[in-house]
Chains A and B, each alone.
Chain A
Amino acid sequence: MTNVSAKTIRDTVEELCVKAIEILPRDVLSALQRAMEEESNPLSKDILGVILDNARLAAHEKIPICQDTGMTYVFVELGQDIAIEDGYLYDAISQGVARAYVRGFLRKSVVSDPLFDRKNTGDNTPPVIHTEIVPGDEVKITVMPKGTGSENMSAVRMLTPGDGIEGVRRFVMEVVEKSGPNACPPLIVGVGIGGMMDKAAYLAKKALLREIGSSNPDPRVAAFEKELVSAINGLGIGPGGLGGATTCLAVHIETYPTHIGALPVAVNLQCHAARRASAVIRSEKRVLL
């Protein structure tokens, strides 16, 4: 059994929030750079130029890439041989988020209840926490600040087995087409297929954590990912929705077994400010990834 203190978790989450919000991951930067080099529409090329300049400026001067610093998603892969000391894991995560948003001058974008008061909680808590128990004695934490521009254009649909791959294709295209400029393209399109409604939605969100350039290990799914990238870029929505060659940087599909009568599909859209940061903690030693 390895012990990890709640304080280490808290400090790691704080650090990851700030890092994610100010520094765009390398794979996302490279994909945007490639899109700019390949873009022939002059206005779209200039928009990508501004997006890249913005990322450079944000990293250099420690300014949030986007003012929508999101609702904070925290994905925890907790080794089953770990004991958390001196506190409750989820409290530690919340405290880390609160510290990052208050001390880091990040925008607080969370309201206390969705329907009635909609009063700002003042520290961007609570986060949404997804925990998976895994073998081993390490804990991996990934922070993803998720903005609402792209989230509001995301959708789940309960297809049925007869709809098949054609139904999935139609639904994905419909969601992206409808999002137009609103979701801040170029997008990363996360698709979750299988399980039941909630599982599909979770897989779609988790798919957004994959590096751009990675493929689903199942070659049939990987081929479907490629096909959807071409089809989506064929829509011509383009950077900022003003036309152009790159509407999406990647399509990531994750699947799970499902019921004999079901084919749930979720499409979670991610804007070009695809922010995420991870760290692994092993007996009090932290490695930022």
Chain B
Amino acid sequence: MTFESPSSISVRERAWRGAKDVFLPFTGENEKVLYSLRAGEKVLLQGVMYTARDAAHRRLVHSLDEGLEVPVDLRGQVIYYAGPCPAKPGTVIGSLGPTTSGRMDRYAPRLIEAGLKGMVGKGIRSLAVIEAMVKHGAVYFVTVGGAGALLSKCVSKAEVVAYEDLGPEAIYRLEVVDFPAIVGVDSRGNDVYREAL
């Protein structure tokens, strides 16, 4: 198989051509868009999201339950279930694809209650998460598992903002451009996986 030059690989012009832009976070005017998104729709995410996976979720929920201050104001924000590879010199970040969202199901309803408006990951969500999403208004985006190299190229800026001691599980603030995703579960509770099967 011949390799094309990577400069020709633009997801906006290839597999995700024609997809709708969705601007993050879901604060101010952007929030309205959240309610118009429908399961199965292809989108290109633009703007800010935060990474968090198992260990960071455990700490966030612990802080919320104990009434302690959380390091990131979750209101209107979107969490990307991911832990990156370290950035090589001269790059923004290393490989950064989604991890399995289901492991965060036990924490997600608590964060949605606290104002989280979006999640990005891969795989099925529990009914408890979907109920919380419908009740408080939130959306779950699915992106392509195992495409960490390509997705890392959609990150224009990355910095650790909390839990640095967790290494790859620290919370990173990301700025993304043309980040390909599919609406997995919309704010009405429609679920692309349950429709697919």
Residues of A within 8 A of B (CB): 26, 29-30, 33, 43, 46-47, 49-51, 53-69, 105-109, 118, 120, 122, 148-149, 152, 180-182, 184, 236-238, 240-243, 271-273
B residues within 8 A CB of A181?
A: 122-124, 142, 145, 193
Say whether, besides A49-B14, A182-B100, A182-B102, A61 and B148 are in contact (CB < 8 Å).
no
Is there a chain A Cβ closer than 8 Å to B127's Cβ?
no
Is the pair A51, B146 in contact by a Cβ cutoff of 8 Å? yes
Q: Which of B1, B94, B192 contacts A29 (CB 8 A)?
A: B1
Is the pair A240, B122 in contact by a Cβ cutoff of 8 Å? yes
Is the pair A242, B182 in contact by a Cβ cutoff of 8 Å? yes
Please give me the 4 A-B residue pairs with the lowest Cβ-Cβ distance, nearest first. Answer: A58-B149, A64-B95, A243-B196, A67-B148
Question: Which of B22-30, B81-89, B132-140 participates in binding chain A?
Answer: B81-89
Is the pair B3, A273 in contact by a Cβ cutoff of 8 Å? no
Say whether, besides A180-B123, A182-B122, A182-B124, A43 and B95 are in contact (CB < 8 Å).
no
**Those of B42-98 within 8 Å (CB) of chain A:** 42, 55, 82-88, 94-97
Is the pair B9, A57 in contact by a Cβ cutoff of 8 Å? yes
Complex Cα gap A63–B14 (Å): 20
Q: Which of A49, A105, A120, A271 contacts B145 (CB 8 A)?
A: A271
Complex Cα gap A210–B125 (Å): 33
Complex Cα gap A51–B143 (Å): 11
Count A-B contacts at CB 8 Å.
Answer: 169
Is the pair B196, A182 in contact by a Cβ cutoff of 8 Å? no
For this complex, 14 residue pairs linking A to B, each with C-beta atoms less than 8 Å apart, are A26-B1, A29-B1, A46-B16, A49-B14, A49-B15, A53-B9, A53-B14, A54-B149, A56-B4, A63-B94, A66-B148, A180-B193, A180-B197, A241-B124
Complex Cα gap A49–B146 (Å): 12
Complex Cα gap A167–B82 (Å): 37
Q: Which of A60, A148, A240 contacts B142 (CB 8 A)?
A: A240
Scoring B11, B85, B148 by chain A CB atoms within 10 A of each residue's CB, the highest score goes to B85
Complex Cα gap A105–B11 (Å): 25
Complex Cα gap A61–B193 (Å): 33
* Distance of B6 from chain A, by nearest CB (Å): 5
- Closest chain A residue to B144 by CB distance? A50
Is the pair A67, B182 in contact by a Cβ cutoff of 8 Å? no
Q: Which of A26, A54, A108 contacts B148 (CB 8 A)?
A: A54
A residues within 8 A CB of B4?
A: 56
B residues within 8 A CB of A47?
A: 15, 144
Say whether, besides A56-B9, A271-B146, A149 and B99 are in contact (CB < 8 Å).
yes
A residues within 8 A CB of B99?
A: 68, 149
A residues within 8 A CB of B82?
A: 67
Say whether, besides A29-B1, A107-B94, A240-B142, A50 and B182 are in contact (CB < 8 Å).
no
Q: Which of B42, B145, B147 contacts A149 (CB 8 A)?
A: B145
B residues within 8 A CB of A148?
A: 100
B residues within 8 A CB of A182?
A: 100, 102, 122-124
Complex Cα gap A109–B88 (Å): 17
Is the pair B197, A65 in contact by a Cβ cutoff of 8 Å? no
Is the pair B196, A66 in contact by a Cβ cutoff of 8 Å? no
Is the pair A67, B97 in contact by a Cβ cutoff of 8 Å? yes
Complex Cα gap A242–B6 (Å): 26
A residues within 8 A CB of B151?
A: 54
Say whether, besides A57-B150, A105-B94, A69 and B9 are in contact (CB < 8 Å).
no
A residues within 8 A CB of B5?
A: 60
Is the pair A240, B144 in contact by a Cβ cutoff of 8 Å? yes
Is the pair B150, A50 in contact by a Cβ cutoff of 8 Å? yes
* Distance of B59 from chain A, by nearest CB (Å): 13
Complex Cα gap A182–B193 (Å): 11
Complex Cα gap A122–B6 (Å): 31
- Closest chain B residue to A44 by CB distance? B196
Complex Cα gap A261–B63 (Å): 52
A residues within 8 A CB of B14?
A: 49, 53
* Distance of B26 from chain A, by nearest CB (Å): 24
* Distance of B101 from chain A, by nearest CB (Å): 8
Scoring B1, B5, B167 by chain A CB atoms within 10 A of each residue's CB, the highest score goes to B1
Is the pair B124, A180 in contact by a Cβ cutoff of 8 Å? yes
Complex Cα gap A10–B168 (Å): 25
Is the pair A65, B168 in contact by a Cβ cutoff of 8 Å? no
Complex Cα gap A63–B87 (Å): 10
* Distance of A178 from chain B, by nearest CB (Å): 10
